[in-house]
Amino acid sequence: MTVGPRVGGYKVYQGGTLFPDLRVPFRQVDLHPSAGEPPVTLYDPSGPYTDPTVDIDIARGLSGLRAGWIARRGDCAVVDQPRQVRPEDNGGATGATLAPAFDNRGRVVRRGLKGRPVTQLEYARAGIVTEEMEYVAIRENLRRAATDPALRDGEDFGASIPDFVTPEFVRDEIARGRAVLPANINHPELEPMIIGRNFLVKINANIGNSAVLGHVADEVDKMVWATRWGADTVMDLSTGRNIHNIRDWIVRNSPVPIGTVPIYQALEKVGGVAEDLTWEVFRDTLIEQAEQGVDYFTIHAGVRLAYVPLTARRVTGIVSRGGSIMAKWCLAHHRESFLYEKFAEICEIMREYDVSFSLGDGLRPGSIADANDAAQFAELRTLGELTRVAWDHGCQVMIEGPGHVPMHKIKANMDEQLAHCGEAPFYTLGPLTTDIAPGYDHITSAIGAAMIGWFGTAMLCYVTPKEHLGLPDRNDVKTGVITYKLAAHAADLAKGHPAARLHDDAVSRARFEFRWEDQFNLGLDPETARCFHDETLPKEAHKTAHFCSMCGPKFCSMKISQDIRDAARSQNDGAGMSAAEITAGLAEMGEKFRAGGSAIDVAVVE
Amino acid sequence: MTVGPRVGGYKVYQGGTLFPDLRVPFRQVDLHPSAGEPPVTLYDPSGPYTDPTVDIDIARGLSGLRAGWIARRGDCAVVDQPRQVRPEDNGGATGATLAPAFDNRGRVVRRGLKGRPVTQLEYARAGIVTEEMEYVAIRENLRRAATDPALRDGEDFGASIPDFVTPEFVRDEIARGRAVLPANINHPELEPMIIGRNFLVKINANIGNSAVLGHVADEVDKMVWATRWGADTVMDLSTGRNIHNIRDWIVRNSPVPIGTVPIYQALEKVGGVAEDLTWEVFRDTLIEQAEQGVDYFTIHAGVRLAYVPLTARRVTGIVSRGGSIMAKWCLAHHRESFLYEKFAEICEIMREYDVSFSLGDGLRPGSIADANDAAQFAELRTLGELTRVAWDHGCQVMIEGPGHVPMHKIKANMDEQLAHCGEAPFYTLGPLTTDIAPGYDHITSAIGAAMIGWFGTAMLCYVTPKEHLGLPDRNDVKTGVITYKLAAHAADLAKGHPAARLHDDAVSRARFEFRWEDQFNLGLDPETARCFHDETLPKEAHKTAHFCSMCGPKFCSMKISQDIRDAARSQNDGAGMSAAEITAGLAEMGEKFRAGGSAIDVAVVE
pLDDT confidence bin for B573, thresholds 50/70/90: very low
What is the reported pLDDT for A471?
86
Average pLDDT for chain B: 90
Let me know the angle formed at the C-alpha of B572 by B566 and B578, rounded to the nearest 5 degrees.
Answer: 105
Nearest by CB to A466, which of B274, B406, B532?
B532
Mark yes or no for CB contact B333/A594 under 8 Å. yes
Whether residue A444 lies within 8 A of chain B, CB to CB, comes out as: yes
- The confidence score (pLDDT) of residue A543 equals 67
pLDDT at A265: 96
Please check whether residue B592 is in contact with residue A334, taking contact to mean a CB–CB distance below 8 angstroms. Answer: no
pLDDT at A558: 72
Rounded to 10°, the helix B410-420/B441-455 angle is: 50
Structural domains of chain A in order of their starting residue, each with its CATH number: 10-500 (3.20.20.540)
- Res B211 pLDDT > 70: no
Checking DSSP bridges between strand B195-196 and strand B179-180, what pairing results, if any? antiparallel
pTM listed for this prediction? 0.94
Q: Strand pairing partners for A549?
A: none
ipTM over 0.90: yes
Task: Give A 96-125 residues with CB within 8 A of chain B.
Answer: none
H helices present in B23-83, as ranges: 67-73
Residue A594 is predicted with a pLDDT of: 46
Cβ–Cβ pairs < 8 A, chains A and B? 470
Is A572 in contact with A511 (CB distance < 8 Å)? no
B228-284 tens-digit pLDDT: 999 999 999 988 888 999 999 999 999 999 999 999 999 999 999 999 999 999 999
- Give the per-residue pLDDT at A95: 87
Q: Please report which residue ranges of B191-305 form alpha helices under DSSP H.
A: 216-229, 243-252, 262-269, 279-292
pLDDT at position B593: 44
Peptide bond into B431 cis (omega under 30): yes
A508 and chain B: CB distance < 8 Å anywhere? yes
- Please indicate whether, in this complex, the C-beta atoms of A511 and B367 are within 8 angstroms of each other: yes
Q: How far is B3 from chain A (nearest CA, A)?
A: 22
The residue of chain B nearest to residue A313, with distances taken between CA atoms, is B565
Q: Which residues 216-245 in chain B show a CB within 8 A of chain A? A: 239-240
B468 labeled binding residue: yes
Residue B442 annotated as lining a ligand binding site: no
Which residues are paired to A14 by β-bridges? A24
Mean pLDDT of B186-214: 88
Q: Is B548 part of the contact surface with chain A (CB cutoff 8 Å)?
A: yes
d(CA B544, CA B563): 16
* Residues contacting residue A115 through CB under 8 Å, at least 6 positions apart: none
Within 8 A of B446 by CB-CB distance, chain A residues are: 443, 446-447
**pLDDT at position B594:** 46
Q: Note the pLDDT tens digit of each residue in A476-527.
A: 999 999 999 999 999 999 999 999 999 999 999 999 999 999 999 999 999 9
Instruction: Say if B157 is an interface residue toward chain A (CB within 8 Å).
Output: no
What confidence score (pLDDT) does residue A404 get?
Answer: 98
Q: Over pLDDT 70: what percentage of chain B? A: 89
Residue B129: the pLDDT is: 98
Residues in chain A: 606
Contact B523 A601 (CB under 8 A): no
For residue B39, the 8-state DSSP code is: P
Instruction: Report the candidate in A257, A231, A461, A238 with the shortest Cα–Cα distance to residue A355.
Output: A257
Supply the Cα-derived Rg of chain A in whole angstroms: 26
Distance from CA of A548 to the nearest CA of B (A): 6
- Residues of chain A in contact with residue B454, where contact means CB-CB under 8 angstroms, are 407-408
Query: What integer pLDDT is reported at residue A547 of this predicted model?
Result: 64
Task: Please identify every stretch of chain A with a pLDDT value under 70, giving residue numbers as ranges.
Answer: 150, 210-214, 538-555, 566-606
B369 vs A contacts (CB less than 8 Å): 501, 504-505, 508
CA A241 centroid distance within chain: 27
Integer-rounded Cα Rg, in Å, for chain B is 26
Q: Which residues pair with A29 in a beta bridge?
A: A40
**pLDDT for the residue B574:** 42
* A490·B211 Cβ contact <8 A: no
Q: Is A605 on the interface with B (CB under 8 A)?
A: no
Residues 6+ apart with CB under 8 A from A399: A358, A359, A361, A380, A383, A384, A387, A417, A421, A424, A425, A426, A427
Q: Map residue B393 onto helix, strand or coil.
A: coil
Between positions 239 and 278 of B, the ones with CB within 8 A of A are: 239-240, 264, 267, 272-275
Q: Which residues does chain A have within 8 Å of residue B598's beta carbon, measured at their own beta carbons?
A: 273, 275
Give CA separation, A466 vs A33, A462, A463, B331, B532, in Å. Answer: 42, 11, 8, 52, 6
CA distance B191 to chain A (A): 25
SS3 per residue for A260-316: ECHHHHHHHHCCCCHHHCCHHHHHHHHHHHHHHCCCEEEECCCCCHHHHHHHCCCCC
The binding site of A for [4Fe-4S] cluster comprises: 548, 551, 556
| Substitution target from B326, B549, B561 for chain A, most A beta carbons within 10 A | B561
Helices (H), B525-556: 526-536
Selection from A520, A521, A538 nearest residue A529 by Cα: A520
Region B40-45: mean pLDDT is 97
**Distance of residue A329 Cα from the nearest chain B Cα, in angstroms:** 9
A596 and chain B in contact, CB less than 8 A: no
Q: What per-residue confidence (pLDDT) applies to A96?
A: 85
Please give the pLDDT value at position B602: 26
Q: Is the pLDDT of residue B542 over 70?
A: no
**A598 close contact with B: CB closer than 8 A:** yes
The span from the CA of B600 to the CA of B593, in Å, is 7
Query: Hey, is the C-beta of A536 within 8 angstroms of any chain B C-beta?
Result: yes
- Number of other CB atoms surrounding residue B37 within 10 Å: 15
CB B590 to CB A494 under 8 A? no
Chain B contact for A473 (CB, 8 A cutoff)? yes
Instruction: Tell me what pLDDT residue A575 has.
Output: 44
Cβ separation A439–B579 shorter than 8 A = no
The pLDDT value recorded for residue B596 is: 42
Name which of B328, B341, B235, B343 is nearest B289 in CA terms: B235
Query: pLDDT tens digit string along B148-170?
Result: 776 788 999 999 999 999 999 99
Q: What is the C-alpha end-to-end distance of chain B, expressed in Å?
A: 39
Identify from A153, A469, A518, A527 which residue to disrupt to test chain B contact, counting B C-beta atoms within 10 A and taking the largest count.
Answer: A469
Select the residue of A447, A471, A553 nearest B549 (Cβ to Cβ): A471
| H/E run at residue B349 | helix B343-353
Q: Cβ contacts (< 8 Å) between A597 and chain B: which residues?
A: 273, 275
